[in-house]
Structure 1
Amino acid sequence: MTATTSSETPAPDEWHKTVCILCSANCGVELRVDGREITRVRGNKSHVASLGYTCEKALRLNHYQNGMKRLQSPMRREPDGSYTAVDWDTAIREVAAGFTEIGQTHGKDKVMYYGGGGQGNHLVGVYGSATRRALGITVRSNALAQEKTGEAWVEGRLTGAHTHGDFHHAEVSIFLGKNPWHSHGFNEARRVLKEINKDPGRSMIVIDPRRSETADLADFHLAVKPGTDAFCVAALLGALVQEDMVNHAWLAEHATGTDRVLQELATVDIADFSHRCGIDEAQIRAAARRIGKAVGGVSIYEDLGIEMAPHSTLVSYLQRLIWILVGSFNVPGGTTTHSGLAPMFSYGATGNEPKAPVTGGRIISGLVPCNEIPDMIMTDHPDRMRGMFIESANPVHSLAESPRWREAMRALDFSVVIDVAMTETAREASYVLPASSQYEKSEATFFGASFPENHFTVRAPVFKPLEGTLPEAEIHARLARELGLIDDDIIDKLRAAAHDGLKPFGAALIETSKANPAMAAIGPIVMYLTLGDTLPDGMADAAPVWFSAHQCAMRFTDAVKAAGFEDVADEDLGDALFNAIITSRDGVTITKHTYEQGWTMVRTDDGKVHAEIPELLDDLAALAFAPVDHRSADFPFILSAGERRAFTANTVMRDSTWRKKDPDGALRLSPADADALGVVNGDKIRITTPGGSAVAPVEVNDTMQDGHISIPNGMGLYAEAEGDSDVVGVPPNELTTLDWKDEYAGTPWHKHVPAHLEAVGG
């Protein structure tokens, strides 16, 4: 591995506290470095959330920091398609001009912002929001719109809030299309799974076609046929209602709209639905009875296995009816609302959401459906998108139908990508701006969903920015200045106030914002340029956390005080919380609630759960007539495209040598299917779908059902920045299509792609 160069040389015997950036758990870790190389990684036992826990992925973080060819200069695409390195001043000037021209010629609503952070860098999105406002961009999306928007729409209708399970304490934990052994999703995931498995008083139910690592630990593995989760969950609900395991008293006090819910579930044909999903009716009923008798809380986690499959929004609704019907909400071990430093997502769905330009898809939580973006570009419609601002995201690789995405990117009048490498998306952009890595700046994420305590971590940079790169905060600040939005006199006054203290700074910022709305619109950039100047070395990028800390302190005053700030006056609480966050490398407990306070975060008009979603209950009634199999004679297999495995991490790891297991991204299939095709481990096999074709090595795996196959996510990435097109593994979205999507949220069916297999000779 070739180390990059820089002037600073951290002491090799020093441990640097930070977090892992490879999944949403963001476990606290400590890094030992030598120059710019990460030489050792261990869990941070002092971290308030992860308590020293980490998985094998974090141990390979040097392959993120040093295992890819980094961009070290802005790159401009020339008319012949080649790229030329340019200086930063030229790049900033031409990028600002490119978007300004689109706005003046076609309207500011013809530019889309996509991205805003991955699994470890959400401050990127905070600064991106300022530039969106500066450019007048109103159309946006990100990867959540191919995963979580159906779930968000359901949660908005039910509670108006995000909910999460308490798997550390739940008597019954249910994992639906979710394998937390590899994908985590909550703190100390593997420790918790093992504890549940060993405790005779607790139970685990896994609903998954594959006998996953989590399923191996479960009391009940409901091995549904691929794509039939809705039938399974509906059968569980039918058993709860028809055997009267419903908490009627709780429903009467805390829920509305239950009459039709109970009426529809009373008519579910449990035997038929069990048959349709491939599970013995007795097993369905036994699992339902275990749920129904639980007194220590029921928690459920859905994930991409159902969110990228048939009936995904319906399943998101049905699974929530389980904890609603048994009354396991805002109780120990149950599903709860939660607070946070800032909301990562909006849960204000009403059923009357706005529609996307051109395509008319439902805009949920402010995001247009990912599967509709190419069609919003590749059209002669007058409202088509003309430009894209893409940041810390790789949609050409990570969204459905990559060939169509490549066409769409080249059809734009102007586009810019901000990223650390010449990604698949960068190779199609008008301009590429090189960002500093996630360990070369201060950063944070807003994933935390724990209750009754929640936590937040701002991490300090471990390395200086690589020569030629800039942190996103600086990139956005330079763009704002080029757009004429920075008044240096105002910045100087605010900076001086910040050096006088947080109190004077806050007062000056409020006064300035009232008098200068244009400056207020780029608030994160203003805070970076002013308050950032007063923060410890390298922490300037985290300046906007000050505003979030104040918002949290105002909304959750009692909970913040209970988290260790009891002696702080209300008017000083935001500053105290910010100071704690900005100075701690172990994370901070930011809120500590009572369970009763969980109800204050339910955002419905009457503070109750609104159980009835009429259109989804209509779908439940029609489920008896819905197809259970989307295969055909031409495509007799179902492909799960993008399975989470031991060494997958979306597209952030571009160095294929980081994988200690499954280095080539094998296609998994059952022993019977392998025999029928005449293949063994290591053979090559061709996968063909309606979207494309690819060749992968074979892994015969007895955890797979007959007719069900899978390939991992994060494969098929270009190896180098200078144009080397060699890839390792199959890029999943060379096989997917835009038209297979959920009818409500437009989320893709990545986990349910009809496919054909053929052995490759030689």
Structure 2
Amino acid sequence: MATEPLKVLPTAVLHTQCPFCSVQCKMRVEEYIGESDGKRPTYAVAGIPNAASEGRLCVKGMNAHQHATSRERILHPMIRKNGTLLRVTWEEALEAIGSRFRSTQSLYGNDAVAVYGGGSLTNESAYLLGKFARVALRSKYIDYNGRFCMSAAASAGHKTFGIDRGLTNQLSEIPLAECIILAGTNIAECQPTLMPYFTRAKENGAYIIVIDPRVTATAEMADLHLQVKPGADVALVNGMLKTLVDERFTDYSFVRGRTKGFDQLKERLDRLNMDEVALETGLAKEEIEKAARAYGKAKTGMIFTARGVEQHADGHLAVRNFLNMVLVTGKIGKEGCGYGAVTGQGNGQGGREHGQKADQLPGYRLIENEADRAYVAGVWGISPGELPGKGVSAYEMMELIDKDAIKALFVMGSNPIVSNPNALLVERALGKLDFLVVADMFLSETAQLADVVLPVTSYLENEGTLTNLEGRVLLREAGRPAPGEARHDWKILCDLAERLDKGTYFPFRKAEEIFDELRVASRGGVADYYGITYERLRKEEGIYWPCPSTDHPGAKRLFERTFVHPDGLAVFQPVDQPSPAERTSDEFPMIMTNGRVLSHYLTGVQTRRSPVLAARDVENFMEIHPRTAARHRIEDGSLVSVRSSRGEVVVRGKITDSIREDTVFVPMHWGDAQNVNRATSPELDPVCRMPDFKSSAVAISPFEQPWMEDWE
């Protein structure tokens, strides 16, 4: 009689969530260790049912453990000595940082030391980083890489609605929308586990409109694809708004009762010439009108924007215009209706709510508001006068470093040398610093320049909360001990505060204690987390903010009865299409846009350490239309020079008819010579200070290898 083979049981089972995009998919990671055969552990990964991804995982989530268990992890502190990073003790590293920060501030003032954070930090770490900058360092200079993610949508939501939360309703309502507009978002590659919501909507008869210069995997499912010229979103939406108003798709009852400023908007639209709109956008007038009618006649509808709309020097106004469409038709505050800014980073939402941004305090309070300052200062046990004022945005910090106004920089969870525009200036600036400290899991391009490198824990080891794109707060439990001498990022901040004689303000022994202080600091603010506790999160999986009390269920749908401005009304904003921040010319005749690919995340520091993900996209590339390639003598698979007035990037040519003839596309996940941001424009949105990543004027040509030196 045959016997069944014995089942191999895992040696460890970790319940966690993906560290990458803003969906924050829950997962189960099983670890199997061979019996003293010298082999490395193997892993099996599966999704856990949850309200956002419903148990789905994408290829990044399935392989996220590979970077967390990589042999390239930094496992001990290092200090640069005689030009080389050498292993030291934590005591030596912390003492060196404390000593240099104190001496720098003694010589040049508190603001000579700056802090640069990241949108993948937990809420606890993001909160503590803001407190560290303002209480331990007393510096006004703190910002983070989320400035490049959602700042345009955040400022637009705040101005229009009085609040910024990624989605105004739940993901589960997407299949109830009769018309969906996806503007500048490639969900199929950037948030693939959300795609079933949209396919379900199509099965229910929804009409899907995609606005993108490229024929992406998302555009392929659209009923209508508007292949707009990069940077022309404002003009496009003006054309759609004119059609909505002229053809009586306006919900006048909603407009009169719940908004203000419509008359000024209508006056602007009355003067609009649709032929001019078509010329500016590169689209047929009939296509624009068709899209507007589809959205206007639908009883329910949702609009989603992402970086394709937002990463422009007029990104704030572009999102404001899409919100004008939502308000004109009254498609908000009810089932199957709303707006969503599709967050890119894992904690892009929570990361900007509690103090990492230059102008913000916890709970989305404003650092220049006296009442907000007084409240947070009271929670922190200091006087309001001790809080510094507003600093500058992430890229502007790089400019100040280049001008020697900032002498020392502390970077946590970010890689600014790759993620910033005008990357050659950033590289030059960081090289000028008297002292650079980087806390990271790997020797990123930025860490390679550091004077001190501190090893931090990964998503498998670091407990804390994150807020997904819906505004749902989730608890990520720690599943395995920290490898080597790596420490939690929040613990590093507490240790450094002790070296700066501010340890009494940072007495935390675990992440939950930090969250409990965050709850109080956010209480009564726009982003009110007070009613959310670790105990509730364990029982309820996730809770939407605002949640003002422990018996409050959390706000699943916003604006059902009122908006968040003092008068309860939403605000229209008439918008004119600005002149391009950077025009094409004879020297730079092409428009370059950038973005993501499915297998990589942000600057690739983590995904390029995953063998499975790295193998899918080994090197950077440039998408170019066949006719454009022929004019510029570019062959498929050949090396291409992409050059702007700022610098040059060298990538592999990829000929495709899925892109406009006047546009090239280069992903953002590689550094050094393949870093697209060597050529991107640093022009900033005047409202939110978002750089103009998506429309840089460039020249393209076959890359010519420099002549080798003659060794004879």
Normalising to structure 1: TM-score of the pair? 0.78
1:49-108 superposed Cα distances (whole Å, 9 cap, x missing partner):
322022122111133213361222222223x43223221111111211211222222221
Q: Aligned equivalents of 1:175 and 1:124: distance in 2? A: 32
Residue 176 of structure 2 is aligned to residue 169 of structure 1: yes
Q: Hey, what does 2:624 align to over in structure 1?
A: 669
Q: How does 1:31-50 map to 2 (within 5 A)?
A: 31-35=29-33, 37=41, 39-45=43-49, 47-50=50-53
Q: Aligned runs of 1:109-188 on 2, under 5 Å?
A: 109-115=111-117, 117-119=118-120, 121-132=122-133, 133-163=135-165, 164=167, 166=169, 167-184=174-191, 188=193
Query: Which residue in 1 is equivalent to 2:353?
Result: 344
Paired position in structure 2 for 1:735 = 679
Give CA-to-partner distance per residue, 1:228-265, whole Å, 9 cap, x none: 11211111111112222211111111012222112112
Question: Contact 1:406/1:428 (CA < 8 Å) preserved in 2?
Answer: no
CA distance in 1, matches of 2:216, 2:261: 36
* Within-5 A mapping of 1:349-748: 368-379=392-403, 384-449=405-470, 455-486=472-503, 519=504, 522=505, 525-526=506-507, 528-529=508-509, 540-548=510-518, 574=531, 577-581=533-537, 583=538, 587=542, 592=553, 598=559, 602-612=563-573, 617=574, 620=576, 623=578, 626=579, 630-641=583-594, 643-651=595-603, 652-655=606-609, 657=611, 658-716=613-671, 730-738=674-682, 740-748=683-691
In 2, Cα distance between the equivalents of 1:376 and 1:128?
A: 20
CA distance in 2, matches of 1:51, 1:552: 30
RMSD: 3.3
Q: Which one is further off, 475-484 or 219-228?
A: 475-484
CA distance 1:415–1:331, shift in 2 (3 Å): same
- Pick closer, same or farther for the CA change 1:670–1:596 going to 2, 3 Å: closer
Q: Distance in 2 between matches of 1:761 and 1:96?
A: 48
Secondary structure at the counterpart of residue 57 of structure 1: helix
**CA distance, structure 1, for counterparts of residue 557 and residue 501 of structure 2:** 49
Secondary structure of the structure 2 residue equivalent to 1:598:
coil
Unpaired runs of at least 5, structure 1: 1-9, 354-364, 487-518, 530-539, 561-572, 717-726
Distance in 1 between the 2:132 and 2:352 partners?
19
Counterparts of 2:541 and 2:636, CA distance in 1: 44
**Contact 1:96–1:482 (8 Å) recurs in 2:** yes
CA contact (8 A) 2:400 2:406 kept: yes
Retained in 2: the 8 A contact 1:161–1:337? Answer: no
Could you say what secondary structure the match of 2:176 adopts?
coil
Deviations 1:338-359, CA, capped at 9 Å, x for gaps? 9x99972666789999xxxxxx
Percent identity between the two aligned chains: 21
Contact 2:464 2:511 in 1 (8 A): yes
Q: Distance in 2 between matches of 1:732 and 1:243?
A: 43
Deviations 1:430-466 (A, max 9, x none): 221111222122133123425xxxx432222222111
Opposite residue 399 of structure 2, the aligned amino acid is: D
Would you say 1:331 and 2:331 are equivalent positions? Answer: no
Determine the structure 1 residue equivalent to 2:24: 26
The answer to whether the 8 Å contact 2:111/2:138 transfers is yes
State the 1:114 CA deviation.
0.8
**CA distance 1:260–1:180, shift in 2 (3 Å):** same
Q: Could you say what secondary structure the match of 2:208 adopts?
A: strand
Q: What letter matches 1:268 in structure 2?
A: L
Q: Residue type matched to 1:73 in 2?
A: H
Higher mean displacement: 467-476 or 248-257: 467-476
118-127 vs 285-294, which moves further: 118-127
Q: Out of 238-247 and 147-156, give the one that drifted further.
A: 147-156
The one-letter code of the counterpart of 2:16 is T
Structure 1 pair 50/598, CA: closer, same or farther in 2 (3 Å)? Answer: same
CA deviation map 1:92-135 (0-9, x unaligned): 112112112222222212222111x3336343212323322222
**Deviations for 1:185-212, whole angstroms, at most 9, x for unmatched residues?**
9xx4111121123332x12111111111
How far the C-alpha of 1:221 sits from its partner, in A, is 0.9
Structure 1 residue 19: deviation in Å? 0.5
Q: Structure 1 residue 14: deviation in Å?
A: 4.7
Contact 2:313 2:581 in 1 (8 A): no
Write the letter of the residue equivalent to 1:604.
H
Q: Offset of 1:284 from its aligned partner?
A: 1.0
Change (3 A) 1:630 1:118: same
Q: Deviations along 1:675-705, whole A, 9 cap, x unmatched? A: 3334443222222222222322222222111
Match of 2:74 among 71, 93, 101: 71
Matched to 1:653, the amino acid is: T
Aligned length: 644
Segment of structure 1 superposing worse, 652-661 or 320-329: 652-661
Structure 2 vs 1, CA of residues 253 and 342 (structure 1 numbering), >3 Å: closer, same or farther?
Answer: farther
**Aligned equivalent of 1:216:** 220
CA distance 1:547–1:713, change in 2 (3 Å): same
Q: 1:609 to 1:136 in 2, by over 3 A?
A: same
Secondary structure of 1:544's aligned partner:
helix
Alignment match, 2:199: 194
CA contact (8 A) 1:330 1:598 kept: yes
Query: Retained in 2: the 8 A contact 1:18–1:460?
Result: yes
* Superposition deviation, residue 48 in structure 1: 3.6
Q: Could you tell me how far apart the structure 1 residues matched to 2:248 and 2:542 are?
A: 45
Contact 2:180/2:295 (<8 A) preserved: no
Output the CA distance in 2 between the equivalents of 1:541 and 1:442.
7
Task: Assess if the C-alpha contact under 8 Å between 1:73 and 1:468 holds in 2.
Answer: yes
Amino acid at match of 1:607: G
Q: CA offsets per residue over residues 565-586 of structure 1, 9 Å max, x none? A: xxxxxxxx958x43132x4695
Task: Provide the C-alpha distance between the structure 1 equivalents of 2:523 and 2:617, rounded to a whole number of angstroms.
Answer: 46
The code of the aligned residue for 2:94 comes to I
Match of 1:268 among 268, 272, 276: 272
Residue 326 (structure 1) shift: 0.7
1:472-531 residue CA offsets vs partner (Å, 9 max, x unmatched): 232122222223334xxxxxxxxxxxxxxxxxxxxxxxxxxxxxxxx4xx3xx32x32xx
What letter matches 2:697 in structure 1?
P
> CA deviation digits over 1:592-641, x for unaligned, max 9?
467886357833111111224xxxx3x51x65xx3598221222221113
Amino acid at match of 1:630: R
The CA distance in 2 between the partners of 1:96 and 1:292, in whole Å, is 59
Paired residue secondary structure (2:59): coil
Tell me what 2:708 maps to. Answer: none
Aligned equivalents of 2:313 and 2:161: distance in 1? 24
Secondary structure at the aligned position of 2:414 is classed as: coil
Check whether the contact 1:401–1:737 (CA below 8 A) recurs between aligned residues.
yes
CA distance in 2, matches of 1:610, 1:24: 28
Alignment match, 1:91: 93
Does the 8 Å contact 1:239/1:270 carry over to 2? no
